[in-house]
Amino acid sequence: MFPALYAVIDIAPNLTTEAASYFAQDLADDLAKAGVRIIQLRAKQASARFLFEISSTLVHRLSGQPVRIIVNDRPDIASIANAAGVHLGQEDLPVEAARAICPTPQWVGISTHNLEQLRLAKNTSADYIAVGPIYPTATKENPDPVVGLELIRAARKLTRKPLVAIGGITIKSASEVFQAGADSVAIISDLQKAPDPGKRAREYLAVAAEAIAARSSA
């Protein structure tokens, strides 16, 4: 089963490599202890070396634990850092090009923002498809238009690949996202800004378990 909580560690551009490393390690430790099983590392404005060093550190730190580290945008760095996979945006390498760099059992995920992109993604070797932004989000400088729950519902009818909903999701809205057909919710700021990220992660996992159980019995 695909992990119900897809945690994203977003590295602020003003952090040094050392500060970013400590931040990422501490947060990843908290999330792993709370039961999170997939963590994406995102550092949009970082250099390749910066992203490689942080990725390698996280992979080594969580080695032996049942947690997948996914590198955002860069399949080359995911490969050489021995990460569990890469997540691609629409402007990144095509899925099959990334797959050549990150072969199975590494995962390749792809973000989609409309039905046309979804239809294309479902016919690739992508291991999962992200859909969003579901709600308004402040974690991107130039976010795509909000797609709402309707795109999740449409996506669920189009593919059986795991669907990861992303964009502005909170603990209050997560249940309706799962009920719409998502397999997982990607959470960034609501984890990073929480006084206790591990506790907040456990809250999401509890909401997911309840919502998915209700959906299955409906």
Q: Give one DSSP letter per residue of 12-60, joined into a string.
A: -TT--HHHHHHHHHHHHHHHHHHT--EEEEE-TT--HHHHHHHHHHHHH
Residues pairing with 87 in the sheet? 72, 109
Of residues 21, 79, 111, 184, which has the active-site annotation?
Answer: 111
Catalytic residue among 33, 49, 119, 140: 140
**CB count, 10 Å around CB of 48?**
10
CB distance 68 to 55 below 8 Å:
no
Active site residue 122: no
- The question of whether 37 is a catalytic residue gets the answer no
Residue with tokens 């070797």: 125
Task: Give residue 7's region: left, alpha or beta (phi > 0; psi -120 to 50).
Answer: beta
**Quick check: is 111 catalytic?**
yes
Spatial distance between the Cα atoms of 37 and 20, rounded to a whole number of angstroms: 21
Cis status of the peptide bond prior to 94, with omega within 30 of 0: no
Catalytic residues: 42, 111, 140
